[in-house]
């Protein structure tokens, strides 16, 4: 299987493989002094012994599903009878030599457990093959037949007068189909947004690895430059390398309440602002000052509700 087929199989969710269970048996029969034969026919047999071993490599595994019932036929051996009719099988075809093969099994159940195909090859002592013709007439004959004109065959096997007949037998049983499922490992579950928010909240509250300080009303709030820059374009501009704030790693915020800045930072880290208390207007102004539209919209809704309640 080439790389493309391997990739197709790997990308498939499931696949099936069907294989015809069969075997090929070759039998060679040598007839010496062929031209001197005067009998009606000569006969021999080809026996395929212990057929279960011959096709053992195709035995179904417990998970396999044969397409036909019964699986491998329980046969100790199969015997095929081979006949050579030197001068045909009746007066009208005595100028021809016939080659015949048929199954020796008498049980219909045994015969139906397999199918067989045959092909004769005729050689002389110089290993030269001569063509034969498969019988395809309307006359009902027992078994498989091929034939050749007798005078052509006698000429072919001279001067040794030895005929070497090779019979190729292909025995076919049922078709074996195996189905497989592609079990792909599921990717690990991604953290839920609420878990990420919780982690960032813990980072804000702990101040671990903080690299920037906001001084408000003489009190310090620790923060992280990367998070401030990612969430607010105002902080991003403030923390450009050339600014004093970036070089000193601190900024003093005036005209703003400490609790408001704390709520502002909490929103920057978590995306939420659970309680604005009495500082809704101040938080609204701070959200606009530091370009935080989400917080601004939330604060506006709170302020609007308070105005509605107050009226």
Residue 180 belongs to some domain of the structure? no
Residue 1 belongs to some domain of the structure? no
161 shares a domain with 269: no
Q: Residue 77: its pLDDT value, please?
A: 75
168 shares a domain with 213: no
CA distances from 85 to 37, 40, 99, 159 (A): 9, 6, 6, 21
Structure-derived torsion over alpha carbons of residues 99, 41, 87, 102, reported in degrees to the nearest 10? -30
Residue 310 has pLDDT above 50, yes or no: no
Work out the average pLDDT over 254-277: 91
More confident of the two residues 98 and 104: 98
Work out the average pLDDT over 68-87: 72
199 shares a domain with 267: yes
Binning pLDDT at 50, 70 and 90, where does residue 89 land?
confident
Work out the average pLDDT over 56-66: 42
143 shares a domain with 46: yes
Q: Residue 169: its pLDDT value, please?
A: 94
pLDDT single digits (tens) 218-261: 999 999 999 999 999 999 999 999 999 999 999 999 999 999 99
Residue 12 belongs to some domain of the structure? no
What distance separates the 2 farthest-apart alpha carbons in the chain?
Answer: 131
CA distance 137 to 185: 61
Number of structural domains the chain divides into: 2
113 shares a domain with 39: yes
121 shares a domain with 28: yes
Residue 46 has pLDDT above 80, yes or no: yes
38 shares a domain with 145: yes
214 shares a domain with 171: no
Work out the average pLDDT over 5-10: 77
Residue 4 belongs to some domain of the structure? no
Q: Which domain holds residue 46?
A: 18-56+64-175
Provide the β-strand partners of residue 163.
31
More confident of the two residues 178 and 174: 178
Residue 263 belongs to some domain of the structure? yes
Residue 7 belongs to some domain of the structure? no
Binning pLDDT at 50, 70 and 90, where does residue 40 land?
very high
Work out the average pLDDT over 66-82: 62
Of 120, 140, 175, which residue is a domain's last?
175
Q: Residue 8: its pLDDT value, please?
A: 80
For residue 88, give the CATH number of its domain: 2.60.210.10
CA distances from 195 to 170, 180, 199 (A): 67, 38, 6
Residue 290 has pLDDT above 50, yes or no: yes
What does pLDDT average to over the chain?
85
Residue 54 has pLDDT above 60, yes or no: no
Q: Residue 57: its pLDDT value, please?
A: 44
Q: Residue 192: its pLDDT value, please?
A: 82
Q: Residue 43: its pLDDT value, please?
A: 96
Residue 306 belongs to some domain of the structure? no
pTM of the predicted model, to two decimals?
0.49
203 shares a domain with 153: no
Q: Residue 186: its pLDDT value, please?
A: 58
Work out the average pLDDT over 92-103: 93
283 shares a domain with 216: yes
SS (H, E, C) the chain: CCHHHHHHHHHCCEEEEEEEEEEEEEEEEEEECHHHCCCCCEEEEEEEECHHHHCHHHCCCCCCEECCCCCCCCCCEEEEEEEEEECECCHHHCCEEEEEEEECCCCHHHHHCCEEEEEEEEECCCCCEECCEECCCCCCCCCEEEEEEHHHHHHHHCCCCEEEEEEEEEEEEEEEEEEEECCCCCCCCCCCHHHHHHHHHHHHHHCCCCCEEEEECCEEEEECHHHHHHHCHHHHHHCCCCCHHHHHCEEEECCCCHHHHHHHHHHHHHCCCCCCHHHHHHHHHHHHHCCCHHHHHHHHHHHHHHHHHHC
210 shares a domain with 157: no
For residue 240, give the CATH number of its domain: 3.30.710.10
258 shares a domain with 145: no
């Amino acid at each position: 299987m080439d790389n493309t087929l391997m990739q197709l199989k790997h990308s498939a969710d499931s696949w099936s493989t069907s294989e015809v269970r069969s075997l090929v048996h070759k039998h060679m029969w040598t007839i010496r002094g062929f031209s001197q034969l005067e009998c009606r026919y000569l006969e021999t047999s080809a026996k395929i012994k212990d057929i279960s071993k011959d096709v053992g490599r195709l035995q179904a595994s417990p998970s396999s599903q044969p397409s036909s019932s019964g699986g491998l036929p329980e046969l100790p051996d199969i015997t095929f009878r081979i006949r050579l009719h030197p001068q045909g099988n009746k007066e009208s075809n005595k100028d021809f030599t016939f080659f015949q093969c048929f199954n020796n099994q008498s049980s219909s159940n045994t015969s139906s457990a397999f199918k067989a195909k045959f092909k004769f090859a005729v050689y002389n002592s110089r290993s030269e093959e001569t063509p034969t013709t498969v019988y395809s007439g309307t006359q009902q004959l027992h078994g498989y037949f091929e034939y050749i004109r007798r005078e052509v065959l006698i000429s072919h096997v001279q001067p040794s007068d030895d005929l070497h007949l090779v019979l190729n037998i292909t025995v076919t049983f049922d078709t074996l189909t195996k189905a497989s499922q592609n079990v792909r490992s599921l990717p690990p579950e991604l953290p839920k947004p609420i878990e990420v928010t919780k982690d960032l909240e813990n980072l804000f509250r702990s101040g671990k690895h903080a690299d920037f300080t906001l001084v408000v009303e003489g009190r310090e709030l620790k923060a992280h430059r990367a998070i401030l820059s990612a969430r607010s374009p105002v902080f991003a501009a403030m923390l450009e390398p050339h600014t004093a704030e970036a070089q000193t790693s601190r900024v003093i915020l005036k005209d703003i309440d400490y609790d408001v800045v704390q709520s502002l930072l909490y929103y920057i880290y978590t995306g939420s602002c659970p309680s604005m208390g009495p500082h809704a207007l101040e938080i609204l102004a701070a959200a606009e000052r530091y370009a935080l539209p989400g917080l601004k919209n939330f604060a506006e809704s709170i302020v609007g509700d308070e105005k509605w309640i107050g009226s």
